[in-house]
């Protein structure tokens, strides 16, 4: 299930989940209770390319992590919402603050708490190893699983759709 080739998806904002999308979904904890996350370097480059093309990128995550803050700062992602108990409310507030209609937003997600966001944005997408209900709600599914370059794949796809648009 992929978007139509040659049709600009009209995306001004890409919203990403973190755990299971930018990471492989595993949580690593050290002996002091500190958490660690592993990010794929190609995902970071895809985010940079998308931003350079004028598409804003935001994070909406149910968990909070200093590692996410550090990585997103490194990538120039300004809109980082962590600890969102209600991802839909966070998305609504973000869209309003940016003045972007929901139909001009995309999200790349992986699990059930993300379903309300999927039903709101114009282009709901899922990583290959997402929950079956999330896969069913997606208009685009990556070939790669979360944490293994799926974000880069989706960014590349979005850019290709823009270039192929008449």
Give all domains of the chain, ordered by start, each with its CATH number: 13-164 (3.40.50.1000)
Q: How confident is the model at residue 1 (pLDDT cuts 50, 70, 90)?
A: very low
Q: Has residue 31 got a pLDDT over 60?
A: yes
Q: Has residue 162 got a pLDDT over 90?
A: no
Q: How confident is the model at residue 6 (pLDDT cuts 50, 70, 90)?
A: very low
Cβ density class 46-57: b for 16+ within 10 Å, e for less: bbbebbeeebbb
* pTM as predicted: 0.90
Q: How confident is the model at residue 7 (pLDDT cuts 50, 70, 90)?
A: low
Q: How far is residue 73's CA from residue 145's CA, in Å, rounded to a whole number?
A: 24
Q: How far is residue 114's CA from residue 134's CA, in Å, rounded to a whole number?
A: 8
- For residue 26, what pLDDT is reported? 80
Is residue 71 exposed (0-12), middle (13-18) or buried (19+ Cβ within 10 Å)?
A: buried
| Least confident range of 21-30, 96-105, 115-124, 153-162 | 21-30
What is the tens place of the pLDDT at every residue in 47-59? 999 999 999 999 9
- For residue 126, what pLDDT is reported? 98
Q: How confident is the model at residue 34 (pLDDT cuts 50, 70, 90)?
A: low
Q: Has residue 3 got a pLDDT over 50?
A: no
Q: Has residue 14 got a pLDDT over 80?
A: yes
């Amino acid at each position: 299930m992929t978007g139509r080739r040659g049709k600009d998806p009209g995306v001004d904002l890409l919203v990403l989940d973190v755990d299971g999308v930018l990471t492989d979904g595993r949580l690593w904890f050290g002996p002091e209770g500190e958490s660690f996350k592993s990010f794929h370097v190609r995902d970071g480059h895809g985010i940079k390319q998308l931003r350079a093309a004028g598409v804003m990128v935001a994070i909406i995550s149910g968990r909070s992590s200093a590692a996410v803050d550090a990585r997103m700062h490194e990538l120039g992602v300004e809109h980082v919402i962590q600890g969102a108990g209600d991802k839909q409310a966070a998305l609504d507030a973000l869209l309003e603050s940016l003045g972007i209609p929901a139909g001009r937003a995309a999200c790349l997600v992986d699990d059930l708490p993300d379903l309300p966001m999927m039903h709101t944005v114009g282009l709901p997408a899922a990583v290959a190893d997402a929950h079956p209900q999330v896969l069913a709600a997606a208009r685009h599914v990556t070939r790669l699983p979360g944490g293994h370059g799926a974000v880069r794949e989706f960014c590349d796809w979005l850019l290709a759709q823009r270039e192929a648009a008449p």
